[in-house]
Amino acid sequence: MWGALLRSGVRGTGGLRSMSSGGPPWNQVVSEAEKIVGYPTSFMSLRCLLSDELSNIAMQVRKLVGTKHPLLDTARQRSLAEITELIHTAFLVHRGIVNIGELKSCDGPLKDMQFGNKMAVLSGDFLLANACTSLAQLQNTKVVELISSAIGDLVQGIYYENSKSSEENCLTDDIGISRWKEQVFLSHSALLAKSCQAAMELAKHSTEIQDMAFQYGKHMSMSHKLHSDLQPFVKESSSDTMAFSLNSAPAILHQEFLGREAWIKQIREAQGKGNIMDYKQLQEAIKAGKGVTSAIDLCRCHGNRALAALEHFPPSEARDALANIVCAVTRFP
Protein backbone atom coordinates (compact mmCIF):
# COMPACT_ATOMS: atom_id res chain seq x y z
CA MET A 1 0.00 0.00 0.00
CA TRP A 2 2.78 2.45 0.87
CA GLY A 3 4.52 1.70 -2.42
CA ALA A 4 1.30 2.25 -4.34
CA LEU A 5 0.72 5.49 -2.47
CA LEU A 6 4.21 6.71 -3.34
CA ARG A 7 3.63 5.89 -7.01
CA SER A 8 0.31 7.74 -6.95
CA GLY A 9 2.32 10.96 -6.92
CA VAL A 10 3.52 10.16 -10.44
CA ARG A 11 1.26 11.23 -13.30
CA GLY A 12 -0.34 8.50 -15.38
CA THR A 13 -3.68 7.58 -16.87
CA GLY A 14 -6.98 6.57 -15.42
CA GLY A 15 -9.19 7.92 -12.67
CA LEU A 16 -11.03 6.95 -9.54
CA ARG A 17 -13.71 4.32 -9.85
CA SER A 18 -17.03 5.17 -8.28
CA MET A 19 -17.71 3.35 -5.03
CA SER A 20 -21.24 2.70 -6.21
CA SER A 21 -19.85 0.35 -8.87
CA GLY A 22 -18.94 -2.12 -6.13
CA GLY A 23 -15.44 -2.87 -7.36
CA PRO A 24 -13.57 -6.18 -7.32
CA PRO A 25 -13.24 -8.28 -4.13
CA TRP A 26 -10.53 -7.68 -1.51
CA ASN A 27 -8.08 -10.41 -2.59
CA GLN A 28 -8.15 -9.19 -6.18
CA VAL A 29 -7.48 -5.53 -5.36
CA VAL A 30 -4.60 -6.47 -3.05
CA SER A 31 -3.12 -8.63 -5.82
CA GLU A 32 -3.40 -5.74 -8.28
CA ALA A 33 -1.72 -3.37 -5.81
CA GLU A 34 1.14 -5.85 -5.33
CA LYS A 35 1.75 -5.94 -9.08
CA ILE A 36 2.03 -2.15 -9.18
CA VAL A 37 4.42 -2.02 -6.24
CA GLY A 38 6.47 -4.87 -7.67
CA TYR A 39 6.60 -7.14 -4.63
CA PRO A 40 4.17 -8.66 -2.10
CA THR A 41 2.93 -5.99 0.31
CA SER A 42 3.05 -8.45 3.18
CA PHE A 43 5.95 -10.78 3.97
CA MET A 44 7.90 -11.94 0.93
CA SER A 45 7.81 -15.58 -0.10
CA LEU A 46 10.53 -17.96 1.01
CA ARG A 47 11.55 -18.50 -2.62
CA CYS A 48 12.20 -14.75 -3.00
CA LEU A 49 14.17 -14.61 0.24
CA LEU A 50 16.40 -17.48 -0.91
CA SER A 51 16.90 -16.10 -4.41
CA ASP A 52 20.56 -15.47 -5.26
CA GLU A 53 19.56 -12.66 -7.61
CA LEU A 54 17.55 -10.88 -4.92
CA SER A 55 20.34 -11.34 -2.39
CA ASN A 56 22.82 -9.79 -4.81
CA ILE A 57 20.53 -6.78 -5.36
CA ALA A 58 20.08 -6.35 -1.61
CA MET A 59 23.86 -6.42 -1.14
CA GLN A 60 24.33 -3.71 -3.77
CA VAL A 61 21.61 -1.55 -2.22
CA ARG A 62 23.34 -1.78 1.17
CA LYS A 63 26.43 -0.25 -0.43
CA LEU A 64 24.33 2.79 -1.34
CA VAL A 65 23.38 3.49 2.28
CA GLY A 66 24.95 6.78 3.31
CA THR A 67 25.16 8.03 -0.28
CA LYS A 68 22.73 10.28 -2.17
CA HIS A 69 22.04 7.86 -5.00
CA PRO A 70 18.41 8.21 -6.27
CA LEU A 71 17.84 4.47 -5.95
CA LEU A 72 18.23 4.81 -2.19
CA ASP A 73 14.94 6.71 -1.94
CA THR A 74 13.11 3.68 -3.40
CA ALA A 75 14.88 1.35 -0.97
CA ARG A 76 13.86 3.62 1.97
CA GLN A 77 10.21 3.56 0.82
CA ARG A 78 10.24 -0.14 0.85
CA SER A 79 12.04 -0.19 4.21
CA LEU A 80 9.26 1.92 5.73
CA ALA A 81 6.63 -0.59 4.57
CA GLU A 82 8.58 -3.45 6.16
CA ILE A 83 8.97 -1.44 9.39
CA THR A 84 5.21 -0.90 9.54
CA GLU A 85 4.61 -4.62 8.95
CA LEU A 86 7.01 -5.46 11.79
CA ILE A 87 5.31 -3.07 14.22
CA HIS A 88 1.86 -4.37 13.30
CA THR A 89 2.97 -8.00 13.69
CA ALA A 90 4.69 -7.25 17.01
CA PHE A 91 1.47 -5.89 18.49
CA LEU A 92 -0.54 -8.81 17.09
CA VAL A 93 1.85 -11.17 18.89
CA HIS A 94 1.54 -9.18 22.11
CA ARG A 95 -2.24 -9.33 21.84
CA GLY A 96 -1.97 -13.12 21.91
CA ILE A 97 -0.96 -13.04 25.58
CA VAL A 98 -3.40 -15.07 27.68
CA ASN A 99 -4.87 -13.83 30.96
CA ILE A 100 -3.77 -16.61 33.30
CA GLY A 101 -6.36 -15.60 35.90
CA GLU A 102 -9.24 -16.36 33.54
CA LEU A 103 -8.02 -19.83 32.50
CA LYS A 104 -10.01 -22.96 33.28
CA SER A 105 -8.77 -26.51 33.74
CA CYS A 106 -10.13 -27.47 30.32
CA ASP A 107 -7.92 -24.85 28.63
CA GLY A 108 -4.77 -26.92 29.12
CA PRO A 109 -1.75 -27.12 31.46
CA LEU A 110 -0.97 -23.84 33.21
CA LYS A 111 2.77 -24.13 32.59
CA ASP A 112 2.20 -24.32 28.82
CA MET A 113 0.17 -21.13 28.93
CA GLN A 114 2.84 -19.39 31.01
CA PHE A 115 5.55 -20.47 28.56
CA GLY A 116 3.42 -19.27 25.65
CA ASN A 117 3.01 -15.88 27.30
CA LYS A 118 6.75 -15.53 27.78
CA MET A 119 7.38 -16.41 24.14
CA ALA A 120 4.73 -13.91 22.99
CA VAL A 121 6.32 -11.11 25.02
CA LEU A 122 9.86 -11.91 23.87
CA SER A 123 8.90 -12.42 20.22
CA GLY A 124 6.87 -9.22 20.09
CA ASP A 125 9.64 -7.23 21.74
CA PHE A 126 12.20 -8.67 19.31
CA LEU A 127 10.14 -7.62 16.29
CA LEU A 128 9.52 -4.17 17.74
CA ALA A 129 13.23 -3.69 18.53
CA ASN A 130 14.16 -4.60 14.94
CA ALA A 131 11.54 -2.18 13.61
CA CYS A 132 12.91 0.65 15.76
CA THR A 133 16.47 -0.06 14.62
CA SER A 134 15.44 0.04 10.96
CA LEU A 135 13.42 3.19 11.62
CA ALA A 136 16.50 5.00 12.89
CA GLN A 137 18.42 3.94 9.78
CA LEU A 138 15.99 5.89 7.58
CA GLN A 139 17.73 9.01 8.92
CA ASN A 140 14.62 11.17 8.73
CA THR A 141 13.63 12.89 11.97
CA LYS A 142 10.02 13.57 10.97
CA VAL A 143 9.45 9.96 9.88
CA VAL A 144 10.92 8.69 13.15
CA GLU A 145 8.62 11.07 15.06
CA LEU A 146 5.53 9.96 13.09
CA ILE A 147 6.08 6.21 13.48
CA SER A 148 7.12 6.56 17.13
CA SER A 149 3.92 8.45 17.90
CA ALA A 150 1.97 5.71 16.09
CA ILE A 151 3.53 3.12 18.41
CA GLY A 152 2.41 5.24 21.36
CA ASP A 153 -1.10 5.39 19.90
CA LEU A 154 -1.15 1.60 19.56
CA VAL A 155 -0.17 1.12 23.20
CA GLN A 156 -2.87 3.54 24.34
CA GLY A 157 -5.47 1.91 22.10
CA ILE A 158 -4.71 -1.58 23.40
CA TYR A 159 -4.91 -0.26 26.96
CA TYR A 160 -8.44 1.01 26.25
CA GLU A 161 -9.37 -2.32 24.67
CA ASN A 162 -8.24 -4.27 27.72
CA SER A 163 -9.68 -1.94 30.36
CA LYS A 164 -12.79 -3.44 31.94
CA SER A 165 -15.91 -1.68 33.09
CA SER A 166 -16.24 -1.41 36.83
CA GLU A 167 -19.64 -3.10 36.61
CA GLU A 168 -19.40 -6.70 37.72
CA ASN A 169 -19.51 -9.24 34.90
CA CYS A 170 -20.06 -6.47 32.33
CA LEU A 171 -19.53 -7.78 28.81
CA THR A 172 -19.88 -4.52 26.90
CA ASP A 173 -18.54 -0.98 27.26
CA ASP A 174 -20.76 1.97 28.04
CA ILE A 175 -19.49 4.13 25.17
CA GLY A 176 -20.98 5.87 22.16
CA ILE A 177 -19.87 5.65 18.55
CA SER A 178 -17.73 8.80 18.88
CA ARG A 179 -15.69 7.24 21.69
CA TRP A 180 -15.55 3.98 19.74
CA LYS A 181 -14.05 5.80 16.74
CA GLU A 182 -11.42 7.47 18.96
CA GLN A 183 -10.36 4.10 20.33
CA VAL A 184 -10.34 2.43 16.90
CA PHE A 185 -8.17 5.23 15.52
CA LEU A 186 -5.59 4.61 18.23
CA SER A 187 -5.57 0.81 17.99
CA HIS A 188 -6.11 0.35 14.23
CA SER A 189 -5.89 3.52 12.15
CA ALA A 190 -3.00 5.54 13.58
CA LEU A 191 -0.23 3.25 12.34
CA LEU A 192 -1.53 3.09 8.77
CA ALA A 193 -2.40 6.81 8.60
CA LYS A 194 0.97 7.96 9.92
CA SER A 195 2.84 5.44 7.77
CA CYS A 196 1.10 6.81 4.66
CA GLN A 197 2.07 10.32 5.74
CA ALA A 198 5.64 9.18 6.40
CA ALA A 199 5.81 7.64 2.90
CA MET A 200 5.00 11.04 1.40
CA GLU A 201 7.64 12.67 3.62
CA LEU A 202 10.27 10.23 2.37
CA ALA A 203 9.20 10.98 -1.20
CA LYS A 204 9.62 14.71 -0.45
CA HIS A 205 6.02 15.65 -1.20
CA SER A 206 4.38 18.81 0.11
CA THR A 207 2.72 19.16 3.52
CA GLU A 208 -0.71 19.19 1.83
CA ILE A 209 -0.05 15.88 0.05
CA GLN A 210 1.28 14.39 3.28
CA ASP A 211 -1.94 15.38 5.05
CA MET A 212 -4.04 13.85 2.28
CA ALA A 213 -2.07 10.61 2.59
CA PHE A 214 -2.77 10.66 6.33
CA GLN A 215 -6.49 11.20 5.69
CA TYR A 216 -6.57 8.34 3.18
CA GLY A 217 -4.89 5.93 5.59
CA LYS A 218 -7.11 6.99 8.49
CA HIS A 219 -10.45 6.72 6.71
CA MET A 220 -9.56 3.60 4.71
CA SER A 221 -8.57 1.75 7.90
CA MET A 222 -11.73 2.94 9.66
CA SER A 223 -13.78 1.55 6.76
CA HIS A 224 -11.82 -1.71 6.99
CA LYS A 225 -12.55 -2.04 10.72
CA LEU A 226 -16.24 -1.31 10.23
CA HIS A 227 -16.36 -3.84 7.37
CA SER A 228 -14.75 -6.44 9.62
CA ASP A 229 -17.18 -5.74 12.48
CA LEU A 230 -20.14 -6.09 10.12
CA GLN A 231 -19.22 -9.52 8.74
CA PRO A 232 -21.15 -11.57 11.36
CA PHE A 233 -24.28 -9.59 10.47
CA VAL A 234 -24.08 -9.44 6.66
CA LYS A 235 -22.58 -12.79 5.65
CA GLU A 236 -25.24 -14.89 3.97
CA SER A 237 -23.20 -17.95 2.99
CA SER A 238 -22.37 -19.10 6.52
CA SER A 239 -24.98 -21.39 8.09
CA ASP A 240 -23.44 -21.12 11.55
CA THR A 241 -23.79 -17.96 13.61
CA MET A 242 -20.46 -16.20 14.02
CA ALA A 243 -19.46 -15.02 17.50
CA PHE A 244 -18.88 -11.29 17.57
CA SER A 245 -17.60 -8.67 19.96
CA LEU A 246 -20.23 -6.91 22.02
CA ASN A 247 -18.09 -3.80 21.58
CA SER A 248 -18.17 -3.98 17.77
CA ALA A 249 -19.59 -1.06 15.77
CA PRO A 250 -23.06 -2.57 15.09
CA ALA A 251 -23.45 -3.43 18.79
CA ILE A 252 -22.31 0.04 19.92
CA LEU A 253 -24.71 1.73 17.50
CA HIS A 254 -27.50 -0.65 18.54
CA GLN A 255 -26.87 0.35 22.16
CA GLU A 256 -27.02 4.05 21.25
CA PHE A 257 -30.43 3.67 19.61
CA LEU A 258 -31.83 1.21 22.17
CA GLY A 259 -30.42 2.60 25.41
CA ARG A 260 -27.88 1.13 27.80
CA GLU A 261 -30.32 -0.58 30.17
CA ALA A 262 -32.33 -2.23 27.41
CA TRP A 263 -29.12 -3.46 25.74
CA ILE A 264 -27.84 -4.99 28.98
CA LYS A 265 -31.22 -6.69 29.40
CA GLN A 266 -30.95 -8.24 25.93
CA ILE A 267 -27.46 -9.53 26.78
CA ARG A 268 -28.65 -11.09 30.05
CA GLU A 269 -31.57 -12.76 28.28
CA ALA A 270 -29.17 -14.24 25.72
CA GLN A 271 -26.98 -15.77 28.43
CA GLY A 272 -27.93 -19.36 29.12
CA LYS A 273 -26.76 -21.75 31.78
CA GLY A 274 -23.07 -21.52 32.54
CA ASN A 275 -23.01 -17.99 31.07
CA ILE A 276 -22.94 -19.43 27.53
CA MET A 277 -23.92 -16.64 25.16
CA ASP A 278 -26.58 -17.24 22.52
CA TYR A 279 -25.05 -15.09 19.78
CA LYS A 280 -27.85 -16.03 17.37
CA GLN A 281 -30.39 -14.36 19.64
CA LEU A 282 -28.27 -11.23 20.04
CA GLN A 283 -27.52 -11.12 16.33
CA GLU A 284 -31.22 -11.14 15.48
CA ALA A 285 -31.89 -8.40 18.04
CA ILE A 286 -29.18 -6.15 16.56
CA LYS A 287 -30.29 -6.83 12.97
CA ALA A 288 -33.86 -5.94 13.92
CA GLY A 289 -32.68 -2.52 15.09
CA LYS A 290 -30.72 0.23 13.35
CA GLY A 291 -27.21 -0.89 14.37
CA VAL A 292 -26.31 -2.79 11.19
CA THR A 293 -27.63 -0.28 8.66
CA SER A 294 -26.03 2.59 10.57
CA ALA A 295 -22.67 0.78 10.63
CA ILE A 296 -22.87 0.21 6.86
CA ASP A 297 -23.63 3.89 6.30
CA LEU A 298 -20.68 4.86 8.53
CA CYS A 299 -18.38 2.47 6.66
CA ARG A 300 -19.31 4.06 3.33
CA CYS A 301 -18.97 7.55 4.81
CA HIS A 302 -15.35 6.87 5.77
CA GLY A 303 -14.81 5.25 2.37
CA ASN A 304 -16.02 8.41 0.62
CA ARG A 305 -13.67 10.53 2.72
CA ALA A 306 -10.76 8.25 1.77
CA LEU A 307 -11.65 8.61 -1.92
CA ALA A 308 -11.91 12.38 -1.50
CA ALA A 309 -8.35 12.44 -0.12
CA LEU A 310 -7.14 10.47 -3.17
CA GLU A 311 -8.55 13.14 -5.48
CA HIS A 312 -5.60 15.35 -4.49
CA PHE A 313 -3.20 12.90 -6.17
CA PRO A 314 -2.68 12.95 -9.96
CA PRO A 315 -4.44 10.20 -11.95
CA SER A 316 -2.35 7.03 -12.10
CA GLU A 317 -2.60 3.26 -11.97
CA ALA A 318 -1.45 3.38 -8.35
CA ARG A 319 -4.24 5.78 -7.40
CA ASP A 320 -6.78 3.47 -9.02
CA ALA A 321 -5.42 0.56 -6.98
CA LEU A 322 -5.80 2.53 -3.75
CA ALA A 323 -9.34 3.49 -4.72
CA ASN A 324 -10.17 -0.15 -5.43
CA ILE A 325 -9.04 -1.07 -1.91
CA VAL A 326 -11.61 1.39 -0.54
CA CYS A 327 -14.30 -0.05 -2.83
CA ALA A 328 -13.50 -3.56 -1.63
CA VAL A 329 -14.05 -2.71 2.04
CA THR A 330 -17.27 -0.78 1.43
CA ARG A 331 -19.12 -3.37 -0.66
CA PHE A 332 -21.74 -5.53 1.07
CA PRO A 333 -24.06 -8.32 -0.15
Q: How far is CA 104 from CA 93, 98, 120, 155, in A?
A: 22, 12, 20, 28
Query: H-helix or E-strand containing 189?
Result: none
Cα dihedral: 302, 28, 51, 92 (round 10): 40
For the chain, which ranges sit under pLDDT 70? 1-23, 34, 36-76, 101-108, 164-170, 236-241, 274
Structure confidence at residue 16 (pLDDT) = 55
Backbone angles phi, psi at 11, to 5 degrees: -65, 145
Q: Is the dihedral of CA 183, 278, 97, 46 positive or negative?
A: negative
The pLDDT score that the predictor gives to residue 23 is 62
Residue 146 is predicted with a pLDDT of: 94
Residues 278, 16: Cα–Cα separation, whole Å: 43
pLDDT at 107: 64
Put simply, whether the predicted model's pTM sits higher than 0.95 gets the answer: no
* 78 close to 40: Cβ distance less than 8 angstroms: no
Angle, alpha carbons 30-184-172 (nearest 5°): 125
Predicted pLDDT at 25: 76
pLDDT on residue 106: 67
